[in-house]
Amino acid sequence: MLATTIAGSLPKPSWLAEPEKLWAPWRVAPELLAEAQRDAVRIALDEQAAAGIDVVTDGEQTRQHFVHGFLERLDGIDFRKRVTIGIRADRYKAEVPTIVGPIARRAPVHVDDVRWARAHTERRLKFTIPGPMTIVDTLADEHYRDRARLALAFARVINEEARELVAAGLDVLQLDEPAFNVYMDDVAAWGIEALHRAVEGLTCTTAVHICYGYGIKANVDWKKTLGGEWRQYERTFPLLAKSRIDQISLECANSRVPLELLDLLRGKDVMAGVIDVATNEIETPEQVATRIRQVLRHVEADRLLPCTNCGMVPLPRDVARGKLQALGAGAALVRQELGASTPPRRV
């Protein structure tokens, strides 16, 4: 009950990549990079375990960016042909590679990463992959020229990869879809279908992470334009409640999301963000416990996974570490109140 987890990313050590920066370049020579990344994964796993996080991730330590880290080894994408485009409905600009031919997966992308993490933790292991809609929104396309068709092509490739990740010991596959809070019409038209194709036939737990983005200035400024209530979830939650996805992740901490919208997810496990990733202020366990209690008014305790709002890669490492500890301790407080035991390490 109240198994804790994180949305995915953790800050990278300063010896691995430039701290507190998205798209940060590696600071390790290419011939030493793989070893350095694996050292960072072990640190990330150990820090989560020490904080009492029950469903752990590799902290995305082997990826420069949560989308492009998956795309780098796929055919049909030219990383030398980079262009600057507006993404997330022009919320901000990004330099992105270009689709120049059919998308294909020539070899496993993250299987070795999952094997390594699986060998170094006894806890339930989650791995994050960008969802089809978010991938489409983070690329320039000169081949398919149709967002829905391109998304389904990526869904097929994700599914190929995911089947091998499960065979390597993965417990939870999380698809990251921040674009779901931007293109709500597309979610209904083809977004859910793309998710279903991505998870088809998987035997692991499946999750989708939907939030309002990293705690960077472009996202913080955008949130200020959304008014007194953020009701984007109101359009997507009913669709997700009917979907084949097991767990839904959303942003709750210091957000203007009306918590009654959680009632739309009855029957699903909910990863509720009770840690704010847009501030360097470290929550107290009591603050986290209060947020969990508020969510429990709308989500059954055995379906609630206290989580972070989003990834924490842009934060200072000591801040992220403190937030992990607050998350674990706050959930423990509420478990004690409910008379519940600590969740099993792996089931």
CA nearest to 216, candidates 345, 94, 343, 36: 94
Alpha helices, H only, the chain:
30-51, 68-71, 111-119, 132-136, 147-167, 184-186, 192-199, 217-223, 233-241, 285-296, 317-338
What pLDDT score was predicted for residue 346? 65
For the entire predicted model, the pTM comes to: 0.93
What pLDDT score was predicted for residue 26? 96
What pLDDT score was predicted for residue 90? 77
What percent of the chain clears pLDDT 70, i.e. is strictly above it?
Answer: 97
Token pair, residue 306, equals: 């206290």
160 CA to centre of own chain = 19
Give residue-wise pLDDT tens across range 41-98. 999 999 999 999 999 999 999 999 888 889 999 999 999 999 998 878 777 788 899 9
Q: What is the mean pLDDT of the chain?
A: 93
Q: Average of pLDDT values for 181-209? A: 96
Question: Are 202 and 179 contacting, i.e. CB atoms less than 8 angstroms apart?
Answer: no
Lookup result for tokens 């991505």: 198
Could you tell me if residue 304 is left (phi over 0), alpha (psi between -120 and 50 degrees) or otherwise beta?
beta
Crossing angle for the helix pair 111-119 and 147-167, to the nearest 10 degrees: 40
Token pair, residue 57, equals: 């991730």
Give residue-wise pLDDT tens across range 276-310. 999 999 999 999 999 999 999 999 999 999 999 99
Tell me, what amino acid is at 67?
Answer: V
Most distant CA atoms of the chain, gap in Å? 57
What pLDDT score was predicted for residue 274? 97
Rg of the chain in Å (alpha carbons): 19
What pLDDT score was predicted for residue 345? 67
Backbone angles phi and psi of 175, in degrees to 5: -100, 125
- Three-state DSSP class for residue 291: helix
Token pair, residue 107, equals: 């070899």
